[in-house]
Structure formats: structure tokens, C-alpha cells
Amino acid sequence: MFNNLQGSELADWLPHIARLSKAAGQAILQVYRQEQIHVSAKADHSPLTEADLASHHLIVHGLKELTPAIPVLSEESGGIPYAERQAWRQFWLVDPLDGTKEFIQRNGQFTVNIALVEEGIPILGVVHAPVLDLTYTAAQKVGAYKGETRLCTRPYPEGSLKVVASRSHANPETEQFLNRLQTHYGPLEVSSLGSSLKFCLVAEGSAHLYPRFGPTMEWDTAAAQCVVEQAGGKVTNLKGDPLRYNKPDLHNPPFVVAAQDAAQLWQDLLG
């Protein structure tokens, strides 16, 4: 359907996608600053706000202008059947507002996620946190950046094992995993955060591991996976295989995000 993209093309597109994510962030903030946020429920009972939809429409329009031949799959258009999607070698994968619960709680820990996926692999990713005014960008053969700063994951051992966990989706499996880590590696430094910012903490070296055993969708993880991988880390299922995209079922399996030298730590515990 398309030729494989070159690093120079991705480098050219990356600033455009970063600006698009920031424009979507501004649309989200207009709703965020309203006195009252109106919330409805989607078919799966997850929350939906007018900010989700404003960001979705802005991003889809911008991507179609930039790359009219590349299809777009957004959380808010997730009903595209696999019979149509399976022919896509390249596509944009978008979460217009990752962390809607954090948005509703007004804690600022939500993001705009835009990824370009090629043959199941995220090859470009942008994660923008509007309230925090942080933008993480990455692409194959380009590297990963926080603003203008090049990112690299944190080696282990280097002090305490630093773990980040979900703020809104804690569960018994995560607690059991943390207990096993502590038994084998001593006291942990555990922080809690919302949205795909947890991936970004690993990418920037603020954490070694992020385990996720609760449900997630492909659009929740693709952009941030690219950031982590281009910073030297890994995002894998519990067998150690990298997460892949455009599956018939868009749910992700349980996964762990790990810094460059930390992947074997958790795999040893599950082996």
C-alpha cells in the first residue's frame, strides 16, 4: 500500500505532529478551564467529554491534510472493522485525550497521543501533556526527546529500583508484582501517575519499570512506546515480546515498560 518510510521523512513530519498535538492540547484546555465539565458515557461505560471530541476532530483533520493517503484510527473512531484495517501497512493511531478520568479530576495528568504505525510497529510518536506544557517526541533513526533534550532510559542497578504505577487503575496483580520485586531487589521507590506519562518517566530516566496488568487499548500505548523504545527501553508483553499494533482485537495484553538494563529483572520473577 505504501513504501517503507525513511528516517528523513519521519524527521520532517515530527515537528508537524508536535504542533498538531499542542493545538489539540489548547482545544482540550478550553474545556478544562470551564466551570463545569459535561461528561457522558460511551458504549463501554468509559467517560467521554467534549474535549475528547474537539481534540479528535482537530487531529484527524490535521493528519489528513499532512498525509492524505495514510488512514487514521482514533479512539473516537475505534469502530473501524478489522476487515478494512488489515490491509493497512501504515496508519496513524491516536488517543485524542489519554487519561479522561484525570482530566475530569482536574489533576493535569492527561495527554494527547499520536503515533505512526508501520507493519505493527510504532515508528513515530508524540505525547503532549497540555497542563504540564510537556511534549515528548520520538521517531526511528531520530531518537527520543523531551522538548529539546535527548532522552535515555536509566541504567539499573543505580540506587533503589524506581517503579511507576497507574493512578486510576491499580489492581491486585500489580500489588503482587510489586511485592515480588521488593522481595528480590529490596525497597522500591514507587510513584503513581496518570495516562501515558508513566511511559515517559521510564523514557526520561525517572523510573526503571512500569508494570501494567489492567486493561488498555492500542491507542493508549503506541505513541509512548515509540518514545520509550527510541530512548533505549522496551515495552513488552509478559513473554518479553514487543507490543504490536492493528490486531483484530485492539486490546493490549498485560505489559511491562522497562529501562534498558531493567527488562530482565521482572522477566526473572515471572520465569
Same domain, 140 and 27: yes
Same domain, 104 and 181: no
> How much is the pTM?
0.93
- Write down the pLDDT at residue 1: 41
Q: What is the pLDDT along the chain (271 residues), one digit of tens a residue?
A: 455 676 689 999 999 999 999 999 999 999 999 888 887 766 666 777 899 999 999 999 999 999 999 999 999 986 899 999 999 999 999 999 998 888 889 999 999 999 999 999 999 999 999 999 999 999 999 999 999 999 999 887 667 889 998 755 567 888 888 888 888 888 899 998 888 999 999 999 999 999 999 899 999 999 999 999 999 999 999 999 999 999 999 999 999 999 987 777 777 666 5
Q: Which domain holds residue 146?
A: 7-150
CATH number for the domain harbouring residue 224: 3.40.190.80
Instruction: List the end-to-end C-alpha distance of the chain, in Å, as a whole number.
Output: 40
Residue with cell 514507587: 190
Same domain, 169 and 131: no
Same domain, 143 and 11: yes
CA angle 222, 149, 122 (to 5 degrees): 15
* 2 found inside a domain: no
Same domain, 120 and 199: no
State which of 86, 116, 150 marks the end of a domain. Answer: 150
Same domain, 12 and 128: yes
Amino acid 248 reads P
Burial class of residue 191, CB neighbours in 10 A (0-12, 13-18, 19+): middle
Residue with cell 533513526: 141
pLDDT tens for 73-96 read 999 986 899 999 999 999 999 999
Same domain, 37 and 146: yes
- Write down the pLDDT at residue 3: 58
Same domain, 129 and 174: no
State which of 107, 128, 150 marks the end of a domain. Answer: 150
* 156 found inside a domain: no
* 1 found inside a domain: no
Q: Among residues of the chain, what percentage have pLDDT more than 90?
A: 68
Strands 234-237 and 255-258 turn out to be antiparallel
* 229 found inside a domain: yes
